[in-house]
Structure 1
Amino acid sequence: MEKFCLKVGFNERQTATLISGKPLFYEGELYSEEHKRKFTTERAGFQVVKDPKDRSKLALAINGQLIGEWFREQLGRLFSSVKKTVEPLRRGKARHYKQYQREDSKFVFWADQNHLHLSRWSSECF
């Protein structure tokens, strides 16, 4: 659990507080290894709890929610906000897809028949 807390973005002092079972209030960025990105939190409560699926293991909770679920929820919010605010850029004849870019985003999204794709923005995309 200690290594996980450090990977997420807590410093050693914060990690020690969590490992001791005490709650910790935190505001800043948290890294999800599963999603390979950082998410921002504002004044959230963290605590190490027993994993509800396997009571012999520990889990990190944010405001009472397991952190893995919280990361998935945040990613879902990101994608839903991007889907609502994207603008079509062009239609590629060779690949048969549309590209979208949100003006304040560093990513380019495009959809083909079956998938929504995400790529880091670069001038080579256009």
Structure 2
Amino acid sequence: GSEVACRRSQLEHWLTTNAEAAAFIAEVPQSRRILRPLCHMLGIELPEALRLPPRPKRKRQRARKPDGDGAIMGATEGSAAPASARSVSDKPTEAEILSWMPGQKRPMPWSRSPARNKPPPLIRPWPEELA
């Protein structure tokens, strides 16, 4: 408790006021990978030298409309294209994975048990010699 608070304040003071610490962090970039999680664990606000650069924004990919016959078939049947794509592989597509609401359990093919109606294992009593 109190020892952790003491070390926390020492580390925070060392990171914010010590010129050698700033030079060390600038000179050895690997030190950031150690100090950043340590600051998070101890609740220290990250100094500018330890902050990650902002991530570049990704462009959203829009779904392409099918060309030719696919446009007509998709418009009339609706779910024919996803069903045929789904039969190729049993794994869910990325769009299906992203469409689930948080907290819902996703049915993944590798997590299914082979036999749901399998009886539980038989538990036998201890032999009298060992009891």
* TM-score range normalised by the length of the shorter chain: under 0.3
Q: Hey, which of these two has a bigger chunk of helix by percent? A: 2
Which one has the largest radius of gyration?
A: 2
After TM superposition, the score normalised by the length of structure 1 is: 0.21
Q: TM-score, normalised by structure 2?
A: 0.21
